[in-house]
Chains A and B, each alone.
Chain A
Amino acid sequence: MSIKPDQKIQFSPMHRLQWEEAQQKDVILYPEGMVELNQSSAEILKLCDGSRDLDQIVVDLEEKFSTTGLKNDITSFLDVALNNGWIQQN
């Protein structure tokens, strides 16, 4: 599976994304498991709220970090996220 550019992306209701104070990082929680996220992965996932598609996520992050050329990295991370069930598209 790979991300469809024309569809909105939302975080899976079967998972929980939260900041862990003790670990000083964001994590994804699901039955029997936990994934520790680096900062950039967490920033991408936080924008997967069902209101943005791929291009909008890229635009928002490039603006937030005042940079360009993030599309490839974001796309490949979102493909991984989709295949792990962390995000979904309707």
Chain B
Amino acid sequence: MAGSNKTNITPPRWLLAELTYKCPLQCPYCSNPLDYAKHSDEISTEDWKQVLSQARKMGAVQLGFSGGEPLTRPDLPELVKHARDLGYYSNLITSGYGLDEEKIIELKEAGLDHIQVSIQASSKDLNDHLAGTKSFEHKQEVARLVKKHGYPMVLCVVIHRENIHQMPEILAMAEELGADYLELANTQYYGWAHANRDQLLPTQEQFEKAEKIAQDFKKTVEGKMKIYYVVPDFYENRPKACMNGWGTTFLTIAPDGVALPCHSARELPGLECPSVTEHSISEIWHDSKAFNFFRGNEWMQEPCKSCDEKDKDFGGCRCQAYLLTGDMYKTDPVCSKSPDRQVIQDALGSARESALSADEKPLIFRNSKNSKLFD
């Protein structure tokens, strides 16, 4: 394995519980694996309770219930209650599909702390097109109900070329709905977004214009709405400090019980990601091959190895290095010091060409039928 330095292992703080890959929506930028259809097993309620208890004991405190659509799990309120009893601060990351007032009250009583509702666009037509299902009006209603029942309301909008022109309307919608937090998440190009990159990656001009609008807006709502702006790293010169460093803070559990150092790590070869049905969270975190693989900086190659910024960005994202260069040990090609930076320029050029072309390829929507094509 690449990293074997087990000293100074910090405990997990954030647990992402991907309860299921099932989802009624078909967003073409979904972060689930392309071949999710073959991982259709789901661990039991009791298994999840064990995971929550063990991770909490180690120090995990922020908890995200995610998916897929976590509301498709009928045991969600039971898991929320268990999490609250353990002292987690829990977040439901949802499309809003299947959420009604009764459920919102039930989850609140079970101890859910906040709800993050995703909306795909500021207009009905585009939202419903991107989601692959009629959902716009219901999502707006859900956002209002979340607010009504005293949850902090977090609105999440994933930004890409299909909706980036709507930035002013997206911001106005967030204000009108009374969002306490607005996450403007520029698409990260993994999973389905990687497959649809030519159709989703905005041009530099689009990105700069939208960013300026968002930054100006941020000042006008200071003290009322907090904005999390997730940068599109293809337009940066330095990579993101992915996962705050491998195996330092974040723990993801996939629907089938596979433990992942990040939610895309399943795509990396040879990690042998362990299952919670066979190992305790403590064993997984401290001793597994996967969680030690890129811990520390022993694994690094040049230019990371001798770089004075390596403790700041940890060499960037391993999944991105693998997806774009075929070598997961390489410097994240987003870095201007990377000898592979050209692959980013090529991606930007290719997307630009697609944007200007008269007969653009259609988006590949995230559904089981398409997933089986990637098997």
Contact = CB atoms under 8 A, between A and B. Distances in A.
A13 B61 contact: no
A18 B87 contact: yes
Contacts of A18: 87
Contacts of B61: 20, 22, 27, 29, 34
Interface string A1-39: 100000000000110101010110001011110100000
B66 to A, nearest CB: 13
Contacts of B87: 18
Contacts of B233: none
Contacts of A14: 152, 180
Contacts of A16: 89, 113
Given A16-B89, A18-B87, A22-B11, A31 B59 contact: no
A23 B180 CA distance: 28
A31 B154 contact: yes
Q: Is chain B's binding surface mostly helix, strand, loop or mixed?
A: mixed
A89 to B, nearest CB: 13
A23 to B, nearest CB: 6
Chain A: interface size category: 10 to 19
B225 to A, nearest CB: 11
Contacts, number: 43
A36 to B, nearest CB: 10
A29 to B, nearest CB: 4
Nearest to A13: B150
Nearest to A33: B62
A27 B62 CA distance: 11
B114 interface: yes
B19 to A, nearest CB: 19
A1 B222 CA distance: 11
Contacts of B91: 31-32
A14 B150 CA distance: 8
Contacts of B269: none
A20 B58 CA distance: 11
Contacts of B186: none
B181 interface: yes
Contacts of A85: 223, 226
A22 B152 contact: no
Contacts of B238: none
B116 interface: yes
Interface of A: 1, 13-14, 16, 18, 20, 22-23, 27, 29-32, 34, 83, 85
9 contacts: A14-B180, A20-B59, A22-B61, A23-B59, A27-B61, A29-B61, A31-B180, A34-B13, A34-B89
Give 8 nearest A-B pairs by CB, closest first.
A22-B59, A29-B89, A14-B152, A31-B114, A31-B154, A31-B181, A31-B152, A16-B89
